[in-house]
Amino acid sequence: MLLQIAKLGHPILRRIAEPLTLDELHDPDISRLIDDMIATMRDHEGIGLAAPQVFVTKRILIVELRPSPRTPGTPSLPLKVMLNPEITIRSADTIPVWEGCLSVDNLRGLVRRPSAITVHYSDRQGDERTLDLDGLAAVIVQHEMDHLDGQLFLDRMDDMTRLAHQREFERFWQTALPQLVD
C-alpha cells in the first residue's frame, strides 16, 4: 500500500521518533509498515525514507541507491532496512551534496556532511548489524537519521543562497556534484 508523505510544516516531522521495542521488532504491523515504506519510496523514485515521513514516529529508516543510466558513477547500495539506527562519524572530511526531500517538494539545498560513517542498527530479523558507509550512501543515511530526530536538510544548510527551486537548480546550479532525493 502506498503511504501519504508528511510535508514541511507538519509537526510530526519535528518530533523525536521513539525507539522500537523488542516486541515491535517482530510485530506484523511494523513489518507491513516497512513493506509499505519500501513501496512508497520506490513509487516516488526516492533513495531513502524515514518513518516520521509517513506519520509514524518510530526509529525506522530505509535506504536504497540504484544504479541509474541518468547518473553514471552513482554508487549503488542494495535496500537496507535500519531499525533503531545509531551513527558514528568516521571522518572529519565533509562532502557537499545538493539534497532534496520528499517532505520538502521541489526544493534543493546544498548541505555539507561528514563523508564517512559507521551505522549500527537492527535488521528486520532483529539481528544487530554494523555497516561502514562512504560518500553518497553515508550522506543519505545521515539525512534519514535526521528525520528520526525531527531535523530536515534545511536545518543543516549554512548558506541559504544555495537553496533553489528544482527548476532553477537545473538551470543555474546543476553541476557534477551529486544530488539526492529521498
* Nearest residue (CB) to Zn ion, 62 versus 101: 101
* Nearest residue (CB) to Zn ion, 65 versus 101: 101
* Nearest residue (CB) to Zn ion, 60 versus 101: 101
Q: Is 18 a catalytic residue?
A: no
Shortest distance, position 143 Cβ to Zn ion, whole Å: 6
Question: Could you list the residues that contact Zn ion (CB under 5 A)?
Answer: 101, 182
Reference 165, options 102, 99, 107; nearest CA is 107
CA gap 157, 65 in Å, rounded: 23
> Which residues lie below 8 Å from residue 78, measured CB to CB, with a gap of 6+?
64
Q: What angle do CA 124, 128, 133 make, to 5 degrees?
A: 95
Shortest distance, position 130 Cβ to Zn ion, whole Å: 24
Distance of CA 41 to the CA centre of its chain: 10
Tell the burial category of 57 from Cβ atoms under 10 Å away from its Cβ (0-12, 13-18, 19+): middle
* Nearest residue (CB) to Zn ion, 25 versus 96: 96
Shortest distance, position 28 Cβ to Zn ion, whole Å: 27
Please give the grid coordinates belonging to residue 167: 527548476
Distances (CA, A) of 45 to 5, 25, 71, 182: 13, 26, 13, 8
Shortest distance, position 127 Cβ to Zn ion, whole Å: 26
CA gap 89, 42 in Å, rounded: 28
* Nearest residue (CB) to Zn ion, 14 versus 25: 14
Point out the catalytic residue in the list 24, 144, 168, 170: 144
Ranked by CB distance to Zn ion, the top (closest) residue is: 101
* Residues that are catalytic: 144
